[in-house]
Amino acid sequence: MKRKLLCMLVGMFISGGSIAGTWIIDTKIADVRWYTGDAGYITTENNSNPGCPGQPLNANRYLNSNTPGNEKLISLALSAMMAGKTVNVLLSGCFENKHSKISGIVVKSQ
């Protein structure tokens, strides 16, 4: 429980101290990508698009290195994927009307 709370707090502080947004609950990370253009994507097993209402379903979640803390979030996502852990992903906003933006990740122990 302490570990789950710690991960949630880290995600909350990385995202600017706010937990406002939409959560994807109990999913797994299928892949993690980072490009030299300072952008990355995480693909979740959940194929929804709650950060972009009215847009087609999409499992790709967007990160940008210009947002403080996103390098930490991509590292946390990679660790969760490698360990096969279930995660909760906090989304806030939409990138290019296609991809939900990640603002937090909670790695679950089970």
Q: Is pLDDT above 60 for 10?
A: no
Residue 13's SS3 state is: helix
Q: Which domain holds residue 60?
A: 2-107
What is the average pLDDT across 12-29?
72
Q: Label each residue of 40-63 as H, E or C.
A: EEEEEEEEECCCCCCCCCEEEEEE
Beta carbons within 10 angstroms of residue 35's beta carbon: 9
CATH number at residue 15: 2.40.50.50
Task: Please tell me whether the overall predicted TM-score, pTM, comes out greater than 0.85 for this model.
Answer: no
Task: Tell me the pLDDT tens digit for each residue of 25-78.
Answer: 999 999 999 888 788 999 999 888 787 878 888 888 999 888 888 889 999 999
Query: CA 35 to CA 29: how far, in whole Å?
Result: 18
Q: Is pLDDT above 70 for 16?
A: no
Q: Is pLDDT above 80 for 9?
A: no
Q: Are 70 and 40 in contact (CB under 8 A)?
A: yes
Look at the chain and report how many structural domains it folds into: 1
